[in-house]
Amino acid sequence: MFLRQTTMNEWNILLRKTVRNGLTQAESFLFALLRIFIYVVQNVLKLRRIHVVGYFNSIRPFRQIADVSSIAEDAQRLPKVPKHLLLLIDEKNNDHESITNMIVWSFMMGVTNVTIADKKGCLENDLGTIETNFRERCKNPSLQLCSKCVFHLAGKVTDSSVHNVIITSPKTSRQHFLTSVKKTCLQMQRNDALQETLNPDAFSGILDTEKGNISDPCLLIVFGQRFTFHGFDPWSLRLTEITTLPSHCGLSYDSFISAFRKYAKCEQRWGV
């Protein structure tokens, strides 16, 4: 009776009966209303709990690491993957294990070239350690795709048919730029015709020649608490999508792959 729509007359009749029958009847009436209220609330909460639990069960759990099949599935879901990934580390310490993970994950996602730079240039001294860790990881039969990889210090990449890992630093990058400028100036002194033909596009071609068979980075991930390039050459980043992560130390797979998802969603536009 209490759950259906009650008219005003019915409520008046019920109120008179309650007053006539005394306080005990009123207490019974209030107790019945309280029971109905509790019943409704319990069922509403149960429905909400079912909805919330079902929602979270539909979400893939957070992954610190991922197996090969999971990475392959993630790669297939992305409409595009960067062919050249630049990792710029702006932190006090370098986590070699996390760096190795990022290299493996990148190659499994379809990245061809990975450039890694840190602000102090310490990674250039750690090239052997990083390569050793990577080779140990590639002993896993499921990672044979990553085994065809060449590690370089900053310089010309001659073979674009394999995976390449380039270790550099902003300081080394600036030094290579100065070397290219000096070479160009010497060529201009020897060849007067070059002075007339030299323009920004031609000089960009000279820089590309010095760099070798590798394109500019498609995606840059900056690790650190502040957003800075530390003087890294901006002309190489003119078409690069840039994102940030707070730290590479102990980096999880899901955090790393979030940068790839952002890149896949971006719409790149060039001037008319």
pLDDT of residue 65: 63
Number of Cβ atoms within 10 Å of the Cβ of 146: 19
pLDDT of residue 11: 47
Burial of 75 (0-12, 13-18, 19+ CB in 10 A): middle
pLDDT of residue 185: 79
Residue 156 to residues 28, 200, 209, Cα–Cα distance (Å):
89, 21, 8
pLDDT of residue 168: 86
Q: How far apart are CA 77 and CA 173, in angstroms?
A: 34
Q: How far apart are CA 233 and CA 124, in angstroms?
A: 18
pLDDT of residue 260: 95
Helices 200-211 and 170-190, packing angle to 10 deg: 120
Beta-bridge partners for 87 = 116, 221
- 8 A C-beta contact, residue 244 and residue 222: yes
Taking only the tens place, the pLDDT of each residue in 194-252 is 667 777 777 666 666 666 667 788 999 999 887 777 667 677 777 889 899 999 999 99
Ranges of residues in the chain with a pLDDT under 70 are 1-29, 31-32, 34-35, 38, 41-66, 143-147, 155-161, 192-195, 203-213, 230-231, 233, 269-272
